[in-house]
């Protein structure tokens, strides 16, 4: 399984030989066609074995990815196929109407690469995008509107990843998901509940209601949900390529829907039109960016650089925590230091991070140990920092303890997204987070196309978070809104150790950070680190706690030193993989959150 066995040429020949049989089987409608599960797969949060691994929130999607690996595809091929399947089974979290970020480890070159597939604002957008009469729109009204829709980046991300590192075509990668859309999947409690939570606004859009509210109600648990419109859209995208969306009929339908939202005549909701144009779609391009990189406990931690704040914010927090022996601390002191490091890193995120094409983001400074050291001395074992905490200046790190200035509060981000993690037999790894933002995105299905449009532009600040401080995240023409997506790959001695990612809006950063600390510092197996109850502090007066911490004695211990808490029923839904010394992979997913995740390996072999 060394680099020689993983040569690009050999992988491509193997995969092409397999995919000929796959395409033939799909064309024949064979129930055993590669990439299409023949029965409802069983969910398991952990799997161990050889040949590669896939972890996602959905068993059908994980099974699609595993079948791609089993038939010779590599990690990128499997990641794209899994993502396309999630567009079917997780349509409220992801799909071709959205965007995301992908981190890739190439076992042959031992290099980490990233793709920024974030949505972009229309070229007519300015800092007043979400203002009316000089005042910001109510957030819920901005979400459910054409104004919130950015040019999608997901299809371009798939094509870019396949072109650079894959062995399959986009058509071959879409085929299993196309069939899944047409044959359907079994509705579970999570899908029904997410539909019910959005029922009022879905009902205001005839195309959305027709798809997701059959008979005017959310689909029943155990029923089969089909999406033939999405199947046809995938088929058109497969046949005609990206041009179908960025310069063709699919794109024209997106633009028409954004500019003239198809609202029911009986709806009382005011749905504002957006400004997305055909020129905005034609101008869209992914960005290949250098990953962020910090070292932590003898490991190399790689993440996504701005326009996402994930890599810089998590990197700064890890650098702050370097100086502390977290493994030897009591649970209360460990959580205290995790919370305070998160608070500090988010204070700096809010001041400095935005789209680097529009603002000068000091990425190197934010991830430097010198800057982290100038901020870490703010942490006291028996006291709590007040929030919002003022930022430091990574361009000029203080030799003392950096504080003062005007604070920048953290603005709201929707907390629904999806994440997948894939590894292959050659040792390649993909960590990929994709999203349409809120649960259900904008709420607007493109008529006849079967997918929801994103509301990603609401990740911009509607007005400056603090008028006294320059805001790097105001809307602008063609600008990418700041994200918190944090796909992370960790190497040890130059080889994959583990990879993790999560959905959850701004809580993504704290979720991935806490899983990493739980695994590395607290010694938890990866699946247990993912399952552990979470806290999330984002430079706010109160820290959010899941019930497992909120209802525990730890909460009282932390309150005694000044912490304040609010209850959050569920934070994130992580996935990950880990490479064992003997060459086996562990795939790990949630045990309970979002109904539990789905971890699979190609050839199961023992336990960890």
Pick the catalytic residue from 417, 439, 510, 511.
417
Q: Tokens standing for 202? A: 């879905």
Neighbours of 424 (CB within 10 A): 29
- Distance linking the first and last C-alpha atoms of the chain: 19
Contact 80, 166 (CB under 8 A): yes
Neighbours of 184 (CB within 10 A): 17
Query: Which segments of 205-297 does DSSP mark as H helices, in order?
Result: 206-212, 228-240, 243-246, 249-259, 278-283
Where are the extended beta strands (E) located within 381-518?
418-424, 429-435, 488-492, 495-501
Beta-ladder partners of 292: 303
Contact 373, 398 (CB under 8 A): no
Cβ neighbors of 322 (< 8 A, separation 6 or more) are 296, 297, 369, 372
Neighbours of 567 (CB within 10 A): 13
Q: In residues, how long is the chain?
A: 608
Neighbours of 293 (CB within 10 A): 16
- The yes-or-no answer on residue 607 being catalytic is no
- Look up residue 469 and give its DSSP letter: S
**Could you give the CA distance from residue 87 to residue 181 in angstroms, rounded to a whole number?**
9
**Could you give the CA distance from residue 362 to residue 598 in angstroms, rounded to a whole number?**
38
User: Which residues are known catalytic residues?
Assistant: 417
């Amino acid at each position: 399984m060394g680099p020689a066995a993983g040569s690009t040429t050999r992988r491509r020949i193997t995969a092409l030989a397999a995919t000929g049989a796959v395409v033939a089987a799909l064309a024949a409608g064979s129930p055993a066609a590669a990439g299409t599960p023949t029965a409802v797969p069983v969910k398991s949060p952990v799997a161990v074995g050889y040949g590669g691994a896939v972890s996602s929130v959905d068993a059908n999607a994980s099974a699609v990815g595993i079948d791609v690996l089993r038939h010779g595809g590599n990690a990128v091929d499997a990641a794209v196929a899994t993502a396309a399947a999630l567009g079917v089974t997780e349509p409220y979290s992801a799909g071709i109407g959205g965007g995301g970020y992908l981190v890739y480890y190439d076992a042959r070159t031992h290099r980490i690469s990233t793709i920024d597939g974030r949505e972009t604002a229309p070229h007519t957008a300015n800092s007043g995008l979400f203002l009316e009469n000089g005042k910001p729109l109510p957030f819920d009204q901005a979400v459910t509107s054409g104004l919130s829709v950015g040019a999608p980046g997901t299809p371009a991300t798939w094509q870019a990843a396949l072109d650079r590192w894959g062995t399959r075509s986009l058509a071959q990668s879409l085929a299993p998901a196309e069939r899944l859309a047409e044959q359907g999947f079994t509705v579970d409690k999570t899908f029904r509940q997410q539909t019910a939570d959005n029922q009022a606004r879905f009902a205001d859009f005839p195309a959305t209601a027709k798809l997701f509210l059959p008979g005017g109600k959310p689909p029943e648990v155990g029923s089969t949900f089909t999406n033939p419109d999405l199947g046809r859209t995938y088929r058109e995208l497969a046949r005609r390529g990206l041009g179908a969306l960025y310069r063709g009929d699919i794109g024209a339908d997106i633009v028409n829907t954004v500019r003239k939202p198809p609202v029911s005549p009986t709806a009382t909701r005011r749905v504002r039109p957006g400004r997305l144009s055909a020129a905005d779609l034609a101008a869209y391009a992914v960005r290949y960016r250098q990953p962020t990189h910090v070292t932590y406990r003898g490991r190399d931690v790689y993440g996504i650089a701005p326009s996402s704040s994930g890599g810089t914010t998590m990197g700064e927090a890890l650098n702050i925590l370097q100086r502390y022996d977290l493994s030897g601390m009591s649970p209360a002191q460990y959580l205290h230091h995790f919370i305070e490091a998160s608070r500090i890193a988010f204070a700096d995120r809010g001041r400095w991070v935005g789209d680097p094409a529009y603002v000068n983001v000091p990425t190197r400074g934010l991830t430097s140990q010198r800057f982290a050291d100038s901020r870490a001395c703010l942490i006291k074992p028996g006291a709590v920092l007040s929030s919002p905490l003022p930022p430091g200046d990574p361009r000029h790190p203080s030799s003392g303890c950096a504080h003062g200035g005007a604070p920048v509060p953290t603005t709201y981000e929707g907390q629904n997204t999806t994440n997948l993690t894939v590894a292959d037999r050659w040792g390649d790894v993909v960590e990929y987070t994709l999203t349409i933002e809120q649960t259900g995105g904008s709420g607007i299905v493109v008529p006849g196309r079967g997918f929801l449009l994103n509301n990603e532009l609401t990740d911009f600040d509607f007005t400056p978070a603090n008028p006294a401080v320059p805001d790097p995240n105001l809307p602008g023409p063609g600008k990418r809104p700041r994200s918190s997506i944090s796909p992370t790959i960790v190497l040890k001695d130059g080889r994959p150790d583990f990879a993790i990612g999560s959905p959850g809006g701004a809580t993504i950063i704290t979720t991935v950070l806490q899983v990493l600390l739980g695994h590395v510092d607290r010694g938890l197996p990866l699946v247990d680190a993912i399952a552990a109850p979470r806290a999330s502090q984002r430079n706010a007066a109160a820290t959010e706690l899941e019930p497992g911490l909120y209802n525990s004695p730890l909460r009282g211990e932390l309150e005694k030193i000044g912490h304040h808490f609010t209850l959050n029923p569920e934070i994130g839904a992580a996935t990950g993989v880990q490479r064992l010394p003997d060459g086996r992979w562990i795939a790990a997913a949630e045990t309970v959150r979002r109904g539990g995740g789905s971890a699979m390996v190609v050839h199961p072999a023992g336990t960890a």
